[in-house]
Chain A
Amino acid sequence: DAKTTQPDSMESTEGETVHLPCSHATISGNEYIYWYRQVPLQGPEYVTHGLQQNTTNSMAFLAIASDRKSSTLILTHVSLRDAAVYHCILIQNQGGSAKLIFGEGTKLTVSS
């Protein structure tokens, strides 16, 4: 699976919109972009995923560049509950199992 690059940390204030970037310059055509987040002492939680088109759900908006070499997770009106480590992961579209490899992710700090 291709590698992703994320900033180590980002800071925000409650109510702001946060843009979390992810670079995946060597992404292949059959790889999906997944985002998970993890708070201390808990397992990771699924946020969203996409292949080529931008996607949105109740948790976040995922913007995918037209060349698919980067993506941005956009969190609107962040609250203290959004403070977590956010992981950007690439998963191949295949019929069997997929090895999800987690990097260090981006630690998002939210202040009041």
Chain B
Amino acid sequence: EAAVTQSPRNKVAVTGGKVTLSCNQTNNHNNMYWYRQDTGHGLRLIHYSYGAGSTEKGDIPDGYKASRPSQENFSLILELATPSQTSVYFCASGGGGGSNERLFFGHGTKLSVL
């Protein structure tokens, strides 16, 4: 079974601080995604990547940066964290679109910005 590992599982940050959320996949998938999910709502796409060195903006990229230094790793960076970024963040990896876009999700990172 494909594996996606997120770290940390929980994070408390201060307003204005820098936060880095990490994601590692051992599936050799080209595509990786970062979503956030607020209580009682669906997932919203922040950034995604086609492969090492590429990052693309999703639907809500403002306030976030992404980095894909290798096939396995995809990071989400909050340079200046704000309380509105308190949420649960999910990373996912997938094959390549269409008939092969089954995504595998991590367990999520709960971020609280105080």
Contact = CB atoms under 8 A, between A and B. Distances in A.
Interface stretch (A15-23, A35-43, A67-75): A35-43
B31 interface: yes
B6 to A, nearest CB: 9
A102 B94 CA distance: 15
Contacts of B96: 95-98
Interface size, B (range): 20 to 34
From DSSP, what is the main secondary structure of chain A's interface residues?
loop
Interface in B4-37: 4, 30-31, 33, 35
13 contacts: A30-B98, A36-B103, A42-B105, A44-B105, A51-B99, A87-B42, A91-B98, A91-B101, A93-B97, A96-B31, A97-B96, A100-B103, A101-B45
